[in-house]
Amino acid sequence: GQQVMQIPQYQHVQEGEDFTTYCNSSTTLSNIQWYKQRPGGHPVFLIQLVKSGEVKKQKRLTFQFGEAKKNSSLHITATQTTDVGTYFCAGPFYGQNFVFGPGTRLSVLP
């Protein structure tokens, strides 16, 4: 079936450490989106990647789209307590709009 997988499920880091979450799709995607959901909040759009091998940066966040357009990663450099939350990737699948991955829950210890 149409699946989007993410690892790890949970990540605990010390403030200042780096963090990476990986996203894999069962099929090639036309684009991939990343969202962040703070505890008690709702998902907030971070970025969309469209091109094969694309790399985009937002301050301390680096997003990458794989060459085969089946995987993606989000890397955070020098995490801060404000980075706490669950990070979701989502890809468009025919007939289902967007399918979300299970998310990676990040906790940052001060």
Stretch in the footprint of other proteins (CB under 8 A) among 19-27, 58-66, 69-77, 100-108: 100-108
Q: In angstroms, what CA-CA distances link 70 with 3, 40, 80?
A: 11, 30, 29
Among 11, 21, 25, 33, binds other proteins (CB under 8 A): 33
Among 14, 42, 59, 82, binds other proteins (CB under 8 A): 42
The pair of three-digit structure tokens given for residue 52, joined into one six-digit string: 């094969």
Grouping H, G, I as helix, E, B as strand and the rest as coil, residue 30 is coil
Question: In sequence order, which residues have a C-beta less than 8 Å from that of residue 100 and are 6 or more positions away?
Answer: 4, 35, 88, 89, 90
Among 14, 59, 82, 96, binds other proteins (CB under 8 A): 96
Q: Does 99 bind other proteins (CB under 8 A)?
A: yes
Q: Does 103 bind other proteins (CB under 8 A)?
A: yes
